[in-house]
Structure 1
């Protein structure tokens, strides 16, 4: 079975994450994720993996045993089982040979060159697309296919020296990194890891947000319009006044690269009580701490002016992976070496979001991110160039082989 056949087989299983179930603490949030994990488990068995464990949560782990006497670090690779909830339809993926121009999808939508000019990079290549009614699911089934394809290489080439390799596949990444948060890093036994998630060929992530949440609750005073003068205190207007205190340009729509922001994410309530949910994002630890302190100070000053009608809850969501790579850059160095050996130009980018590796890193498993080769995640125009998928798998294979140069002393 080649990597394309693996990927297409995975796309036939609907693994859309279920937001309601996830919010209720049900994991996996959708039955398809467990079904996919069962299929991958069978494939891991056929590849000669050991210590295969599939939990009720759909968290799946396995080991490729070492075939060397060298004492090597143990590397791991991760993918997630779910697809985003933007679309819930079953995927009907097809492979097209791209000759240039637009790509008409089977049900009518058009993958437009004008909108997606990077398509020109893939002229003459086979590209996998959906029928235009669903997500393709390369986020993140391309990762699973790339990882298992690399393991297939070592089964087919038993004389190629390698150390112990761990693999992990987790559910519900698309809603708060639930699977990674539930993952037992200590029991897993890896020294460092890589996720494969997002990004065109060559992209590499070893930085992401320091991310947190702020919930500000405004308590007003309700009154009937007949006697509201001097009595009504409208919590909606209190919230609006509070939001006006924040820098106008430090929002998602005005920032890029490593620029942090405050995001007024959700506002719900009535005149008596209103709840504001905010996202806090910054790449630096100092910047992140400043932003949390700034919010706390705004609430303090607001309460001085408004008779203590606001309460604040601050919480951390995930940290920047870079915070946990400071002790050893081996994971980054190995990846860069593997990119270059496969004639892939590294494009190191900061991820303006979170991914499983952020949580795993904070738990003690340093985990940068390798490309899958796909584009337009969370869209019906998601597409996956086949050579990019093969390249992702080759990077995994090369990292495993090159790790034999790093025997522990």
Structure 2
């Protein structure tokens, strides 16, 4: 089976994640995810994979044993089974020979993919691309990745002369609602030395860093008083919160930053004149920058305490997650080096892209997702089918 056939077969199974069932703790949150996992399990068995395990959570893992005595690390590849909850309709995939301009997805409903709105399609001119009929998501996020992983395994099995170490694969449910499958995944028992998640971006884009992320909860305690006799007595916690926000660095907010620029995000505020609670997100790519931001907030709170009096302000700082790049420094960065070499050998320029979000959970507009199968369907994993997995010459 070729990679396009695989992908289209996967799109025929509706794996829309269910936020309602997810909130109730049910995993997988939709039956289609287990249906897809069961199909993949059958295909893995047909390819001769070993240690195939499908859990009742729809977490599916398998192993391709090494075919060499060389001491090579165990590499792993991950993809997720579910598609976004934004669209629940069944997918009707269609292959289009794209020669430029707009693409009419659905003449009957007058649904058109306009080049002016999605100029990224121009890079696929002269190629066959896969689109929907415009009434649903394509599901290339992340079924293109599943098809790519399965294709790579097929290539390795069909070409035993390609030396490779142990390869492990994992397919996880409910990524689209807070990485629920990843959080339930048993990393230790999986036994891989390192891994690659296939989810996002175009040919050549490679994400290996994200935020260092923290939370701040600032509580302002005022003093109520009747307005008739408020002079010298009323201490308005709402105004304290506004003054605190006004003392944050100008321009260091999400709406003013890009690339590797960090920020303070004033995310939520609720209360009254007596008590106000402010919630903030803190983000920075560097460990030093992140530590500086957290220290600044603590110092600001301490200064306000000295100004307003004991008990008027309380700040609670906590870490949410780390930049994955923190663990890929020095000799530990060899997975990045391997990927870079594989890109070069296949004539693809690697473009390292910082992820301005949690690792691999950046939000995308729902409807443009039918672009994500366009031309890049083989994904960069087409280049993983030999030298990438072997880790070099």
State the TM-score, normalized to the length of structure 2.
0.87
Any stretches of 5+ residues in structure 1 without a counterpart?
359-375
SS where residue 372 of structure 2 aligns? strand
The corresponding residue for 1:373 is none
- Residues 211, 285 of structure 2: 8 Å contact kept: yes
The corresponding residue for 2:78 is 78
How far 1:276 sits from its partner (Å)?
3.2
Alignment of 1:380 onto 2:357: no
Q: Distance in 2 between matches of 1:271 and 1:110?
A: 52
SS where residue 67 of structure 1 aligns? coil
How far 1:53 sits from its partner (Å)?
1.7
How far 1:56 sits from its partner (Å)?
2.8
Q: Residue 251 of structure 2: which of 215, 226, 249 is its match?
A: 249
Q: Residue 339 of structure 1: which of 322, 337, 343 is its match?
A: 343
Q: How many residues in Structure 1 have an aligned counterpart in Structure 2?
A: 387
SS where residue 126 of structure 1 aligns? strand
How far 1:296 sits from its partner (Å)?
2.3
Q: Distance in 2 between matches of 1:47 and 1:165?
A: 13
The corresponding residue for 1:312 is 315
How far 1:237 sits from its partner (Å)?
4.3
Q: Distance in 2 between matches of 1:310 and 1:121?
A: 54
Q: Distance in 2 between matches of 1:270 and 1:5?
A: 59
Distance verdict in 2 for CA 1:28–1:311, change over 3 Å: farther
The corresponding residue for 2:152 is 150
Q: Distance in 1 between matches of 2:301 and 2:31?
A: 43
**CA RMSD between the two structures:** 2.9
Distance verdict in 2 for CA 1:38–1:297, change over 3 Å: farther
Q: Distance in 1 between matches of 2:318 and 2:29?
A: 24
The corresponding residue for 1:114 is 116
How far 1:150 sits from its partner (Å)?
0.6
Q: Distance in 2 between matches of 1:232 and 1:16?
A: 53
The corresponding residue for 1:361 is none
Q: How does 1:115-130 map to 2 (within 5 A)?
A: 115-130=117-132
Q: Distance in 2 between matches of 1:280 and 1:290?
A: 11
The corresponding residue for 2:390 is 402
Q: Distance in 1 between matches of 2:246 and 2:116?
A: 38
How far 1:272 sits from its partner (Å)?
5.6
Q: Distance in 1 between matches of 2:87 and 2:234?
A: 43
Q: Distance in 1 between matches of 2:197 and 2:31?
A: 23
How far 1:90 sits from its partner (Å)?
3.5
**Bigger-Rg structure (1/2):** 2
Distance verdict in 2 for CA 1:109–1:69, change over 3 Å: same
The corresponding residue for 1:47 is 47
Q: Distance in 2 between matches of 1:233 and 1:131?
A: 59
